[in-house]
Amino acid sequence: MSAARVEEILVKHLGCDESQARACAHGLIGVPAAPPAVGTSPGPGDLSGVLGADATGTTGATGATTLGVTVPQGCEPRDGAVYLASARSPVELAQRLYERSGPTGATAVLLAVLDTEGVLRMSGVAGTAAQTVSDWSQVPLRCIVPLARMAEADQRLWLDDETGDRSLTWVSARSDAPGAPCPVGARESGTGPGGVVCVVSVIWSGPPPAAPAVRRRLETLTDCAGQRLRMLAALGLPDDDVRAAWLGAVIDAIPVPAALLFPVRGPLGRVVEFTIDRCNAHATGLLGRTPEQITGSRLLDAFPGMVLSGIFDAYVAVLETGVPLDRGPFSYEEPYRGVLRPALLSVRAQRVGGGLLVSWQFHDERARMTARLDDAERLANLGWAEWNLATGDVTWSRRVYDILERDPASGPLPLDALCGYVIEEDLPAVVGAVRSLSHGPGPVRFEVRTRASDGLRHVSVNAELLRDSLGNLVALRGVVQDVSGVRRTEAALEATRREVERRQLRMAEELQLALLPRAHTTLPGLRTAIRYQPAENCTRVGGDWFEATPLPDGRVLIAIGDVLGHGLQAAAGMAQLRNALLGIAYTGADPARILDCLNLVAFHGHDESLTATAVVGHFDPQRRTLTWARAGHPPPVLVRRGRATELANDDGTTLGASLDPGYACKTLPLRLGDRLILYTDGLVERRADRAGDREDLLLSAARLGARGGPEDHLRTLLSVLHTNPEDDTCVIVLHVGS
C-alpha cells in the first residue's frame, strides 16, 4: 500500500492532522517491526522482556498516540501494545502477536473478520502450527460466532479444543465501539454500522502458561490485537488482500465460466451458503442466467442443482481442507418447473484467501457430438490414428488400443512398431500399401491380420499422407476397423453356400442317376459300352442324358442329348425330354417325328425356355441299318476298318429354338464289326483348345481304340481326350455284331 493511501486513511478515519499523518505514513512504510533483542529470551518465570515492560496488565482509561499511531483504549503505550498497534494488515498483526506470545509456548495465532452474513472478509495467521492453515476456514467457529453475536461487550475466553489444544480467544461483535467496522454492503450504501465479528485467537498445543501475571499480560495483548483488528476492518484494508485487482483480472482471463465465492456461515459457524462475489463474462447458468444476474447472488439460487449433485458439499470440503477440486464431466440435474433438466458438467475449485475461486463448464453440443462419435466408434468397432512426421507425436483414439489389445497407459506406438502386430503372411500387403501411399496422391485401403488373445483378428486400414503447401510430408493418418466379425460372417455364409451347392449336386446327381436308364451291355444285334461322367464342379451338374432300349417292333432306340444349363433346372429339363422321348418312341414314330415332338415340349412345356440338343436313331438288327435325325447335336462317328468319319446330317436346329426346325432322317447301312460313337460336347470341348484340333483328336482316338472291345474303346476315348471337368460327359459305343 502506498504512503499516500495510508496518509489518507489516517486523516479521514483516525482524525490525525496532516503533519502527524504524513510523519506516521512515511515512518511506517518500509520500516520493519523491531524483533526482540538477541540474547534476551525470557525464562519460564520472566517474560516481561517479550510481553512488554509492564507484565501486570495495567489498563489506561484512554488511548495514547505513539509515532502517530493511536494505541487502542485499554492498552498502555509500552513495547507490546505499540508494536501491535502499528501493524498495517491482519497478516502483520498476527505475526507480531505471535512474536510476543510464541515464547510462552503458543503454536499459532489466528485472526478473522466476518460480516453479518458469516462471510470471511479478512484473515491472518502466524506460527509453526499455522503453516498448514491458510485461513479461518479450518478453525471451528461454532462456539465463537454465536457467543459474539449474543454478547453486548467484547469477550475474552480460554477455550479447550476437542483435539486437546488450548486457546485464548478475543471476540467482538460491537457496533458501538470506537472504530467499529461497518458491513461491506452498509459502507457502500451509506447505511449505519452493523455487527461485524472480529476474532483473535492464540493457540497452545498443550496447557497455556500458569503464571497469573503472564496470563494477564497475554490477555492484555490479545485485547490490544483485537482492537487493532477492529480498526483495520473499519479502514477496509483487508479487502485488498482477497479482492485485489489482480484476482479480478485472473477471473476475467479464464476462458470458461469462473467466479469468486465467499462462504455464508450459520449461527453455529457452519457454511450454509456461498455468495457469488464476482464472475467473468463467460459465466452462465444452465437456465440462461447472465453474468450480471449471477454476480451478487447466492450460489444455490443461481445453481439450485449444486446440492443434489454433491458439488455444494465438495465446495465446503475445499474451503475446509484446501484440497483443490477437479471433477467432470459428470451428470448434473437442475430443477426447472417441477422437472429435472439434465446436463453434462465439469467443475474446478481452489481456495483463495477466505473464499473459493471456482470454474465450471456445461458441455455443449460439440461435447455431445464427441460422445456420440465415441459411441459410433464403439458400435462400428473402428478408431482413428495420426502420426505427426514433423514432431514425432502420435495420437490414437480409444478404440485403436482395443483393436490392437494395447494398454492405453502404455501410450500409442510409433509407425515402425506396428508391423510387429501383423502376421508374417500379410506383411506384403503392408509393403504394397506403403508404396502406393508414397507414389499416389489418394488414400490407400488394405486389410491385414493381427495377433489377438482370441486368435487372428482381421483389421481393415484406410490411410493417407498429409502434405503442406510445399509438398513436404506432414503426417500420416488413418482409420482402422476390426472386421473380424464381418469376415467370420462371410466365412459362415461361404460354408453355407458350399453346403447348399453340395446338397444341390447330390440331389441333381441322384435325380440324373434315377432318371437315366440302366446301361445294357447287349442289345439286339449290338454290343454296347455306355459311360455317364458328371462334372467335377458341384454347380456344373448338367442335363446330359442317353437312351438305348429295344422297342416292341424289334428295333433298338438309340438316343443321346444335352440340355443347356446346369443344376437342378437342367436335370429337370432332361427328365422332361427323356420321358417324352420314350412315350413318343413307343408310338412307332420315326426319329425326325420324335424330334419334332420333343421340340414342341421344349418350346411350350417348360416354365422357362428350355434349349437342348439331341440325336435320335433306330437300329434295325434284321437289316443292319441306322435311321437317325439330328437336332443341333454333335454327329455320330462311324469307325469302319480302321477309319473314323463323322456322319453327315445338317437338317434341323436345336430343340426349343424354332417351331419349324426342319428335322430329316438319314439311313446308314452298317456292316459286321462297325463301331458307332455317340457323345455329348463334354468329350470334345475344352476352353483352352480350338474346336478343330479337338475334332481331329476325337477321330484319332476313335481309330486308336477300335481294335479292342467296346469297353476298351470307351476307355481309350476318355483317357486320350481328357474330358472337360466343368461339364457332364456322356459317351455311347455301339459294336455291330451278329
Mean pLDDT of 539-563: 86
| Residue 357 clears pLDDT 80, i.e. is over it | yes
> What is the reported pLDDT for 625?
95
Confidence of residue 185 (pLDDT cuts 50, 70, 90): very low
Q: What is the pTM of this model?
A: 0.41
Mean pLDDT of 516-530: 82
Mean pLDDT of 647-662: 90
Nearest Cα to Cα of residue 681 among 727, 720, 615, 628: 727
| Residue 13 clears pLDDT 60, i.e. is over it | no
| Residue 60 clears pLDDT 60, i.e. is over it | no
Confidence of residue 689 (pLDDT cuts 50, 70, 90): low
- DSSP per residue, 594-607: HHHHHHHHHHHSSS
> What is the reported pLDDT for 516?
67
- DSSP per residue, 265-295: E-TTS-EEEEEEEEE-TT---TT---HHHHT
Nearest Cα to Cα of residue 722 among 691, 697, 690, 696: 697
| Residue 615 clears pLDDT 90, i.e. is over it | yes
Q: Which of 46-60, 73-87, 334-348, 520-534 has the highest mean pLDDT?
A: 520-534
> What is the reported pLDDT for 131?
54
In this predicted structure, which of 1-10, 611-620, 649-658 has the lowest mean pLDDT? 1-10
Confidence of residue 211 (pLDDT cuts 50, 70, 90): confident
Using the structure block, give the residue that is written with the C-alpha cell 464472475.
279
> What is the reported pLDDT for 508?
66
Long-range CB contact pairs, 453-457, < 8 A, 24+: 453/405, 456/423, 456/484, 457/403, 457/482, 457/484
Confidence of residue 537 (pLDDT cuts 50, 70, 90): low
Amino acid found at 344: L
> What is the reported pLDDT for 34?
33
Question: Using CB atoms within 10 A of its CB, is residue 661 exposed (0-12), middle (13-18) or buried (19+)?
Answer: buried
> What is the reported pLDDT for 420?
85
| Residue 566 clears pLDDT 90, i.e. is over it | no
| Residue 66 clears pLDDT 60, i.e. is over it | no
| Residue 665 clears pLDDT 90, i.e. is over it | yes
Higher pLDDT, 153 or 644: 644
Q: How is residue 287 written as a grid cell?
A: 437456465
Spatial neighbors of 8 by CB under 8 A, at least 6 apart, are none
> What is the reported pLDDT for 15?
44
Share of the chain above pLDDT 70, in %: 73
DSSP 113: E
Confidence of residue 527 (pLDDT cuts 50, 70, 90): very high
Beta bridge partners of residue 617, listed in sequence order? 558, 628
Mean pLDDT of 348-355: 84
Residues 456-514 have pLDDT tens digits of 889 999 998 888 888 888 889 899 999 888 888 888 999 999 898 788 777 766 766 66
Higher pLDDT, 626 or 233: 626
Q: How far, rounded to the nearest angstrom, does the alpha carbon of residue 533 sit from its chain's CA centroid?
A: 59
Confidence of residue 5 (pLDDT cuts 50, 70, 90): very low
| Residue 30 clears pLDDT 60, i.e. is over it | no
For residue 560, the SS3 value is: strand
Confidence of residue 294 (pLDDT cuts 50, 70, 90): confident
Beta bridge partners of residue 117, listed in sequence order? none
Higher pLDDT, 424 or 235: 424
> What is the reported pLDDT for 81?
77
Checking phi first, is residue 455 left (phi over 0); if not, alpha (psi -120 to 50) or beta? Answer: left
| Residue 637 clears pLDDT 80, i.e. is over it | yes
Mean pLDDT of 172-193: 53
| Residue 592 clears pLDDT 50, i.e. is over it | yes
In order of 447, 546, 675, the CA distances from 550 in angstroms are 64, 14, 19
Mean pLDDT of 137-143: 49
Residues 360-369 have pLDDT tens digits of 888 765 666 6
CB 659 within 8 A of CB 699: no
DSSP 608: S
Q: Which of 38-52, 235-249, 369-383, 651-665 has the highest mean pLDDT?
A: 651-665
Higher pLDDT, 325 or 198: 325
> What is the reported pLDDT for 733?
94
CB 109 within 8 A of CB 96: no
The rounded radius of gyration (Å) of the Cα atoms in the chain is 55
Confidence of residue 236 (pLDDT cuts 50, 70, 90): low
| Residue 384 clears pLDDT 70, i.e. is over it | yes
| Residue 287 clears pLDDT 80, i.e. is over it | no
> What is the reported pLDDT for 604?
83
Kindly report the average pLDDT of the chain as a whole number: 78
How far is residue 80's CA from residue 53's CA, in Å, rounded to a whole number? 8
Residues 295-329 have pLDDT tens digits of 888 999 888 888 888 999 999 999 888 899 999 78
Checking phi first, is residue 398 left (phi over 0); if not, alpha (psi -120 to 50) or beta? Answer: alpha
Mean pLDDT of 104-110: 87
Higher pLDDT, 63 or 490: 490
How far is residue 399's CA from residue 377's CA, in Å, rounded to a whole number? 7
Residues 242-277 have pLDDT tens digits of 455 567 777 888 888 899 998 888 877 788 999 998
CB 224 within 8 A of CB 80: yes
Residues 410-450 have pLDDT tens digits of 999 888 888 888 888 988 888 888 888 888 777 889 988 99
- DSSP per residue, 156-224: EEEEE-TTS-EEEEEEE--SSSTTPPPPHHHHHHT------EEEEEEEESS-----HHHHHHHHHHHHH
